[in-house]
């Protein structure tokens, strides 16, 4: 029988500690970042975004009337780390799902390092350092074997695999003597990375677990133009099932070309920047259309159409709800639906990770998301148990009132979709 691999991905939005070896924070402080990508790199971003959209579509189809959010970026980082340990059809399958070829893995690793550094970097705008950044911490944890003097030896994981994760993903590493100690160690690490906001991984490790890959994403961002709290009022939100919720609706006004908007006969979109490199885009179906219908046609081409259609208006009048969400979802069935199957089977090939036969066991993600007058923070955790839009130009005013279900996504300066969600009413 094959031994179980348990991979743990956690994408979390709070302050985070740096890895022990090459520290991501230190590298980010001294590294200049150019957000220009060549055509091949743009294609890799497109592929990972398409993967994230497909995964979210599968999740949303299972819960069409529920508010939810997840981090495709966290899943992509974890799968790319895992991919360095795969071979054969397992490698081919995951690469295909992520939108690149087997020969692109080294380029993907290098690009992930660039993304990690850029997302962690704090930028100076008008002489002031920004508060927004996204920091990812990665961990490679294994079950070790007793050797001389009671130390533990990382016998499971090949040095080549470990070195790639340390260099390109700034991964920390440690070994534990047994499953219980491994779980306690990972929980302690998670607590350190999240300043106690997440105290433990969302599943109990099975006795067969040999390897855990843990990814923690920390995102904090303030609006470039904050909403004034005194203008936040209770207002009706018209849910898809006919229910009317009472939500806290924030109101904003912009005439400085900070926001961008677009509209057509099916939907409207609003982009609002944070301080620094990140921005959020909200897509609101027009009356008579639904989020469910919008999701069916959602793809990277639609993303591109929205981006091209966004433009300046003289005045923006914006009304959006406060959002506080916590989404927990088992991702294994949805990963299977987007083409990742063999890694979970007895035919899994993780020979570039270990000399022992391993397979991926389960994947769970937990995401916490908060959007308010000051900005956005998010906590996301994933646990792997190893259409055409044409803009209608209005040159003067743009009105955006999100009082019915809508989609949203947060992107970085490279165009990576870091978080994707839908809001259908509920707690705010």
Structurally, at CATH architecture level, domain 229-323+388-423 sits in Roll (2.30)
Q: What share of the chain is helix, strand, coil (3-state, %, to 5)?
A: 30, 35, 35
**What is the C-alpha separation between 374 and 115, in angstroms, rounded?**
25
Predicted confidence (pLDDT) per residue in 336-374, tens digit:
999 999 998 889 998 999 888 888 887 777 777 888 888
Using CB atoms within 10 Å of the CB of residue 317, give its burial: 0 to 12 exposed, 13 to 18 middle, 19+ buried: middle
Residue 171 CB contacts under 8 Å (≥ 6 apart), including other chains? 19, 81, 138, 139, 140, 162, 165
Q: Give the largest CA-CA distance in the chain.
A: 75
**What is the C-alpha separation between 309 and 109, in angstroms, rounded?**
32
Q: Which two tokens stand for residue 293?
A: 């219908």
**What is the C-alpha separation between 21 and 29, in angstroms, rounded?**
16
Q: Which of 101-110, 238-247, 321-330 has the highest average model confidence (pLDDT)?
A: 101-110
Q: What is the pLDDT, as a whole number, of residue 67?
A: 92
Q: Give the right CATH number for 3-222+324-384 from 3.40.50.10800, 3.30.497.10, 3.40.50.970, 3.30.450.20.
A: 3.30.497.10
CA 129 centroid distance within chain: 24
Would the CATH topology of 3-222+324-384 be identical to that of 229-323+388-423?
no
pTM metric for this prediction: 0.87
401 closest CA partner among 265, 297, 247, 241: 247
pLDDT band at 400 (very low <50, low <70, confident <90, very high): very high
Predicted confidence (pLDDT) per residue in 27-61, tens digit:
988 888 888 999 999 999 999 999 999 999 999 98
Separation in Å, CA 176 to CA 143, 155, 274: 5, 11, 41
The domain limits of the chain are 3-222+324-384, 229-323+388-423
Who has greater pLDDT, 354 or 13? 354
Predicted confidence (pLDDT) per residue in 232-264, tens digit:
999 999 998 889 999 999 998 887 778 999 998
End-to-end, the C-alpha distance of the chain in Å comes to 48
pLDDT band at 96 (very low <50, low <70, confident <90, very high): very high
């Amino acid at each position: 029988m094959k031994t179980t691999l348990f991979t743990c991905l956690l994408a979390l939005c709070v302050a985070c500690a740096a890895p022990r070896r090459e520290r991501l924070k230190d590298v980010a402080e001294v590294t200049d970042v150019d957000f220009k990508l060549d055509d091949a790199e743009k294609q890799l971003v497109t592929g990972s975004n398409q993967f994230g959209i497909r995964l979210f579509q599968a999740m949303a189809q299972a819960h069409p009337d529920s508010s939810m959010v997840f981090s495709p970026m966290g899943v992509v980082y974890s799968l790319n780390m895992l991919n360095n340990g795969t071979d054969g059809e397992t490698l081919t399958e995951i690469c295909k799902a992520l939108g690149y070829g087997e020969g692109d893995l080294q380029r993907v690793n290098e690009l992930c390092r660039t993304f990690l550094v850029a997302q962690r970097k704090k930028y100076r705008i008008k002489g002031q350092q920004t508060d927004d950044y996204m920091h990812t911490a990665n961990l490679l944890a294994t079950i070790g074997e007793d050797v001389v003097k009671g130390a533990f030896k990382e016998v499971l994981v090949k040095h080549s695999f470990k070195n790639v994760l340390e260099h390109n993903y700034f991964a920390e590493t440690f070994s534990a003597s047994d499953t219980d100690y491994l779980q306690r160690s990972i929980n302690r690490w998670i607590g350190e990375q999240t300043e106690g906001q997440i105290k433990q991984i969302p599943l109990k490790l099975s006795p067969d677990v040999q390897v855990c890959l843990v990814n923690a994403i920390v995102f904090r961002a303030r609006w470039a133009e904050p909403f004034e709290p005194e203008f936040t009022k209770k207002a009706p939100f018209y849910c898809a099932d006919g229910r009317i919720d009472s939500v806290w609706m924030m109101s904003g006004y912009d005439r400085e070309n900070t926001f961008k908007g677009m509209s057509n006969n099916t939907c409207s979109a609003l982009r609002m920047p944070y301080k620094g490199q990140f921005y959020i885009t909200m897509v609101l179906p027009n009356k008579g259309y639904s989020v469910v219908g919008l999701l069916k046609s959602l793809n990277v081409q639609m993303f591109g159409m929205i981006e091209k259609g966004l433009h300046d208006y003289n005045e923006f009048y914006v009304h959006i709800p406060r959002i506080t969400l916590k989404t927990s979802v088992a991702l294994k069935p949805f990963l299977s639906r987007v083409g990742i199957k063999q890694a979970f089977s007895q035919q899994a090939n993780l020979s570039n990770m270990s000399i022992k036969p391993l397979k991926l066991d389960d994947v769970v993600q937990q995401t916490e998301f908060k959007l308010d007058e000051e900005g956005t923070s998010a906590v996301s955790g994933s646990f792997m148990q190893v259409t055409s839009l044409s803009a209608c130009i209005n040159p003067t005013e743009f009105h955006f009132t999100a009082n019915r279900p809508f989609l949203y996504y947060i992107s970085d300066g490279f165009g990576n979709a870091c978080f994707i969600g839908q809001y259908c009413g509920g707690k705010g």
